[in-house]
Structure 1
Amino acid sequence: MNSTPVPKPIPNRHTLLNTMNDRAVWDVVVIGGGATGLGTAVDAAARGYRTLLIEGEDFAKGTSSRATKLVHGGVRYLAQGNISLVREALHERGLLNRNAPHLAWPLGFVVPAYGLFDQPFYGVGLKMYDLLAGKLNLSPSRWLSKDETLAHASTVAPTVGGRNLRGGVLYYDGQFDDARLATALMRTLFDLGGTAINYVRATGLIRSNGKSAIEGVIAQDTFSGTEYPLHARCVVNATGVWVDAVRRMDDAQAQTMVAPSQGVHLTLPRDFLPGDKAILVPKTDDGRVLFVVPWNGHTIVGTTDTPRDDLPLEPNASDADVDFILQTAARYLSRKPTRADVTSVWAGLRPLVKAPSDTATKTLSREHTVVVSNSGLVTVTGGKWTTYRRMAQDVIDIAITHQLLPQAHCRTADLPLHGAGPVGAPGAPARGTPDSYYGTDLPALRALPGIEHILVKASGLTEAHVRFAARHELARNVEDVLARRNRALFLDSESAILAAPEVARILAEELGLDANWQRATLEAFEKTAAHYRLR
């Protein structure tokens, strides 16, 4: 008898659309399937509210799959003196490490010191970082000698700008896989009795005749074009950098809330950072922070912080941003990366709260904002992945304060996310490796056909992973699998492109789709993948 535990099944798309349409009134409808929207839906469902989340593309398609993969308090904000924001983020970092040990883990950072006062300055600041984390601190920071610095980060350059390496500081923050955390939140929502559906877009808001209060959302299935009226007591706009478009469905004159900023990251081979520690350059020539981080068997380098006045769904990394990252990394690494070394490049838009036009985006805080319009639309924007849970708690608490929902207490501070289980069990994969992201679902994954059939070596993708994504993770097309259920496109774009036809074939088999669908999904993926190839 096969005793492999089978994950709780997620209904097929037809059933999900019927569920979405059949319920007379939802307590909460969340628009947006990124970090904030998924967190808000989980919080609402955990409190017992009847909750639906709709996402016009795929979960974490935008900003929420393009982070630096760090769960952190924000060393920059500490330097700015924003103690309350850092304390809150460090607390949330600790909660995520506890509630999702299969998706988040501690990571050591080496801060190299070249100036006479760098080491004491960084060292004292990072001891304060430890103190602010309190009981949830991951590990204490400490000063490093020059030899210890090189032992922990052998690729650190011994000389920068004519100054010799004097030593460094070692501190700890968290690391995670952003898109896999989004998938786990979606699964958690179903575990709590809620419903989530991707590729369903909000096209309008519902009001009763003669009333100004919002009473629901008009949602459109992007595949069929069918529209559904969704009635709800509370509608939450959690669409990230796109919140203003939804706000203008409510009020055409609504002022702009978001000043988008573009961040760019490059993926390099593992040998640019062969150890298990990351490198933090706390202040580049123009005042930005640069991270060099080991992730999924590769090295990622970033990030930039460039203002944008447009909101493309698939932003391009500019040559200037790529050159800045390569040139800055080359100053601090003993091996100098070039364009030929880059295996993937990605850009993401951050939703920063609107500020005066003469304010640089790197000086803006990621602190979140929640507003409720006169008609009852709840909008949340700003923030970062680290504080997603707290943002969600604030959204629902404010909805209760405005009497949009009945009183119920938040439960997510101690809520394990889907797949959470004991860490370090015999035979379990090491934290931070692709199979560890499945947690307690791993036996079910390994029981599927094709577990030995490797499609992308760089990301560990097998045929079984594709089947699991289709059956249990609402993957609808090739991009969903290669960009977010698995991170192949972010790690090695060429390998992802080569694997795409086989992924399309397996998905078509799982979803009951034909050759025409396979051609269409491959064509769409190739257009998206072009953005991840360094031009």
Structure 2
Amino acid sequence: MAATPFTRPAMLRQLTEVPEWDVLVIGGGATGLGTALDAASRGYKTLLLEQSDFAKGTSSRSTKLVHGGVRYLAQGNIRLVFEALRERGLLLRNAPHVVTVQPFVILCYTWWQRFFYGAGLTLYDLLAGRYSLGRTTWWSRLTVLGHLPGLKPEYLKGGIVYFDGQFDDARLALNMAQTCAEQGGTVLNYMRVTALTKDMDGHVNGVKALDLESGQAYTLRAKAVVNATGVYVDEILQLDQPAQKPLVMPSQGVHVVLGKSFLPGEAALMIPKTPDGRVLFAIPWQDHVLVGTTDTPLHSISLEPVALETEINFILQTAGAYLQKIPTRQDVRSVFAGLRPLAAPSSETGDTKEISRSHKLLVAPSGLITITGGKWTTYRQMADDTVNAAAKVAGLPAIPCRTERLPIHGAIPAVTIPASSNSTMQRKQESSPPPALARYGSDAPHVLALQEAEPTLAQKLHPDFTYTLAEVVWAVRHEMARTVEDVLSRRLRVLFLDARAALEMAPAVAVVLAHEMNHDETWQREQVAAFEMLAQHYLPQRYEKKTVRIP
């Protein structure tokens, strides 16, 4: 299929112009987008439907790491680590504008820790092979404190330094959706699947869907239907078989965001064993510090999970044991929770550490394909397996996966993964976007051109951030943003960085959206009110509203 312009009206037209899809994917998170991108790149007629916005759920709420999984290595899951390290290397090559190399330090307070962690991370490097990002090394006490000046120095012997990847999860998801469209696929947000349709033999042959913006209902035929809805997979499975046993046991992860002053420098901190046996990270991210995560079993799910008081306190107390400047509730800029779709165990257990992080692929007697589990880093491999299964179910021509060397939208041409294991992924790019717009990659000049064409659009949305009005316009015209939340939560990451600042930006964003989408002042007020209600979940303290004027 020819590329479809990345606008919602253009995508909607495809629903009536294509009589039957080869592959229909339900779910617009990492797994669903990866599956749709893989299918479209093979030439299959592909449609993806997401009930909310792309990456609204788990896929925008990660720890922002593209990693092999040091904790999985400690658990002996060599296969998962090996696969993830390879996929990490491919992501760095295919999406260099959103994925970067991040040095991590594991603090050592005994010489035994130096030996133990050093040996394990040397194996981590060996498993990465030619996809290594840099060689594990030892930093002395003074070197560690020089790179991480915010640490408490007491009893510190030094630190083990290793390298992993960091990324902007929501932007990568968006860029995957754009790449899918460039490959001829059709992707739609705010399109809820309400039912599965079946033929006389009971085989799934399509879905019924509702456009949440217009209220229009659609019946869409497809040769293969993929359930890639993350923590919601059981809901779709029950549309197929109402008596279906739960396939997923959700777990909640919480992160708090602090100011950069708590951990100055470019290195991240990895605490391999907290008092309750979990792993905690403190990571420099977009000029802030991201600290997390927790791992709390849940029995109910929500599109907007809320951090528990115990989770916030646990993170602050654990971080405070290592940082000179002890963080308090007043210091937290934002707190967010995400749900992990962990494959449910066969035994009765509430311990999420016992649950497999590997993905599971199931094909029901009806032909419904379900993919669940896994992690962001391995989305491409999960998609490969899923599309292979879909091709068999649908009787499609056997076409090999093409995503291993497929650049993601926005990628600026870069040099390949380094031959030297000492290198930290040095790249020579043909051109570099302005630092404030680097996340747009090859789209940055176009965003900049908007500002130059209309100087009023160069105005910043908030004095503490570089985001401009032009970026809101770009998000509406070229990134399928439909709401204030879409812009401030996922196109720009303000809600996840500083919830109070996001609240102050909301009215100006609503004005731009209304102008671009031809909405009235009532719509603007409703959008701001909805965003204010949403943002309360991201605030550790009650918000006191103040006005920020945008001319």
TM bucket by the smaller chain? over 0.9
Q: Which of 439, 442, 446 is the aligned partner of 1:440?
A: 442
Q: Which of 137, 140, 146 is the aligned partner of 1:151?
A: 146
TM-fit CA distance, 1:69: 0.3
Q: 1:282 to 1:434 in 2, by over 3 A?
A: farther
1:306 aligns with 2:308: no
* Cα deviation 1:494-530 (Å, max 9, x = unaligned): 0100110000000111111111211121121111111
* Cα deviation 1:415-459 (Å, max 9, x = unaligned): 0000111355487248xx652121111110111134521003444
2:420 matched to which residue of 1? Answer: none
CA–CA separation in structure 2 for the residues paired with 1:305 and 1:10? 40
CA–CA separation in structure 2 for the residues paired with 1:196 and 1:434? 28
* Cα deviation 1:465-486 (Å, max 9, x = unaligned): 0000000000001000000000
CA–CA separation in structure 2 for the residues paired with 1:11 and 1:347? 29
Which of 403-412 and 12-21 deviates more?
12-21
1:396 aligns with 2:387: yes
1:3 matched to which residue of 2? Answer: none
1:478 aligns with 2:478: no
* Cα deviation 1:74-121 (Å, max 9, x = unaligned): 010000010010000000000000000001010000110013311110
TM-fit CA distance, 1:153: 1.6
CA–CA separation in structure 2 for the residues paired with 1:504 and 1:372? 43
Amino acid at match of 2:182: D
TM-fit CA distance, 1:226: 1.3
1:116 aligns with 2:106: no
2:520 matched to which residue of 1? Answer: 514
Amino acid at match of 2:354: T
CA–CA separation in structure 1 for the residues paired with 2:463 and 2:178? 26
Q: Which of 139, 154, 174 is the aligned partner of 2:134?
A: 139
* Cα deviation 1:396-431 (Å, max 9, x = unaligned): 11223445432111000100000111355487248x
* Cα deviation 1:306-336 (Å, max 9, x = unaligned): 0000001101111100000000000111211
CA–CA separation in structure 2 for the residues paired with 1:92 and 1:20? 33
CA–CA separation in structure 1 for the residues paired with 2:291 and 2:375? 19
CA–CA separation in structure 1 for the residues paired with 2:436 and 2:285? 10
**2:26 and 2:193 in contact (8 A); partners too:** yes
CA–CA separation in structure 2 for the residues paired with 1:308 and 1:127? 35
Note the 1:172-251 alignment, pairs <5 A: 172-208=163-199, 210-251=200-241
1:34 aligns with 2:29: yes
1:107 aligns with 2:102: yes
* Cα deviation 1:168-219 (Å, max 9, x = unaligned): 10000000000000110011011101111100000001112x2210000101
Note the 1:250-329 alignment, pairs <5 A: 250-329=240-319
CA–CA separation in structure 2 for the residues paired with 1:327 and 1:284? 11
**2:433 and 2:442 in contact (8 A); partners too:** no
Identity %: 51
CA–CA separation in structure 1 for the residues paired with 2:388 and 2:152? 49
Amino acid at match of 1:249: L
Amino acid at match of 1:447: A
CA-based RMSD: 1.5
Note the 1:334-345 alignment, pairs <5 A: 334-345=324-335
Amino acid at match of 1:94: G
Q: Which of 349, 368, 379 is the aligned partner of 1:377?
A: 368
2:348 matched to which residue of 1? Answer: 357
CA–CA separation in structure 1 for the residues paired with 2:244 and 2:252? 23
**1:304 and 1:321 in contact (8 A); partners too:** yes
Q: Which of 16, 32, 50 is the aligned partner of 2:45?
A: 50
1:493 aligns with 2:499: yes
* Cα deviation 1:339-360 (Å, max 9, x = unaligned): 1100000000000000133241
* Cα deviation 1:229-256 (Å, max 9, x = unaligned): 1100010000000000000000001110
**1:296 and 1:434 in contact (8 A); partners too:** no
* Cα deviation 1:118-152 (Å, max 9, x = unaligned): 11100110010000001011111101111122122
TM-fit CA distance, 1:12: 4.0
Amino acid at match of 1:201: R
Amino acid at match of 2:150: T
Amino acid at match of 2:243: Q
Q: Which of 429, 432, 437 is the aligned partner of 1:428?
A: 432
1:5 matched to which residue of 2? Answer: none
2:425 matched to which residue of 1? Answer: none
**2:6 and 2:480 in contact (8 A); partners too:** no
CA–CA separation in structure 2 for the residues paired with 1:174 and 1:79? 19
Q: Secondary structure at the match of 2:540?
A: coil
Q: 1:222 to 1:486 in 2, by over 3 A?
A: same
Q: Secondary structure at the match of 1:332?
A: coil
**1:260 and 1:307 in contact (8 A); partners too:** yes
CA–CA separation in structure 2 for the residues paired with 1:310 and 1:250? 21
2:545 matched to which residue of 1? Answer: none
TM-fit CA distance, 1:362: 2.6
Amino acid at match of 2:462: V
**1:37 and 1:239 in contact (8 A); partners too:** yes
**1:352 and 1:365 in contact (8 A); partners too:** yes
1:469 aligns with 2:475: yes
Q: Which runs of 4+ in 1 moved over 6 A?
A: none
**1:281 and 1:290 in contact (8 A); partners too:** yes
TM-fit CA distance, 1:18: 2.3
2:549 matched to which residue of 1? Answer: none
TM-fit CA distance, 1:9: 8.0
Amino acid at match of 1:259: M
1:23 aligns with 2:14: no
Q: 1:128 to 1:370 in 2, by over 3 A?
A: same
CA–CA separation in structure 1 for the residues paired with 2:503 and 2:348? 40
CA–CA separation in structure 2 for the residues paired with 1:421 and 1:406? 32
TM-fit CA distance, 1:21: 2.6
* TM-score, reference length from structure 1: 0.95
Q: 1:244 to 1:457 in 2, by over 3 A?
A: farther
TM-fit CA distance, 1:34: 0.3
Note the 1:445-464 alignment, pairs <5 A: 445-448=447-450, 449=454, 450-464=456-470
Amino acid at match of 1:436: A
User: Which ranges in structure 1 are unaligned for 5 or more consecutive residues?
Assistant: 1-7
